[in-house]
Structure 1
Amino acid sequence: TEEEWNTVTTAMDRVNEAVYRFATRAVMGLANAGDDEEWNRYLQSLDQAGLQDVLAIYRQYWGEQGS
């Protein structure tokens, strides 16, 4: 639906920004992906950006397509 498409595009913009920020910090040596606490904060930032909403929409769509 159009509403789902808007949700996906908006959330993925935020997810991509969170990925970019973390990757930039990691490359600069300011973030350590090997630190469990820091990694979990990163994963939480992805969820806060809407990643789980996107995944739910994708799962619903692909579940319907596979039926």
Structure 2
Amino acid sequence: MYNDPLDKIYNDLYEHTMHLLEEHDLPVEAVAGSLMAIAMRLYKSSLSEKNFNKIKEVILDTDVEPYKKPRLH
């Protein structure tokens, strides 16, 4: 179904995130913060200090579009 494994990962995580928000009525800040914490720990565990600092800069400098979903708290 997915040619790119990143698409599968993204879509699986997105679906689970929406499940947490909609079915469990969890606050968006708690869910987003947890995802960010997991991501940062994965980066910290697998990258050199230099590359970890680079990825933090990329994260801070990258503009993102908000979801057009009617409800994200």
> What TM-score do the two structures reach when normalised by structure 1?
0.41
- Which structure has more relative contact order (CA 8 Å, sep 6+)? It is 1
User: Which structure features the higher share of helix residues?
Assistant: 1
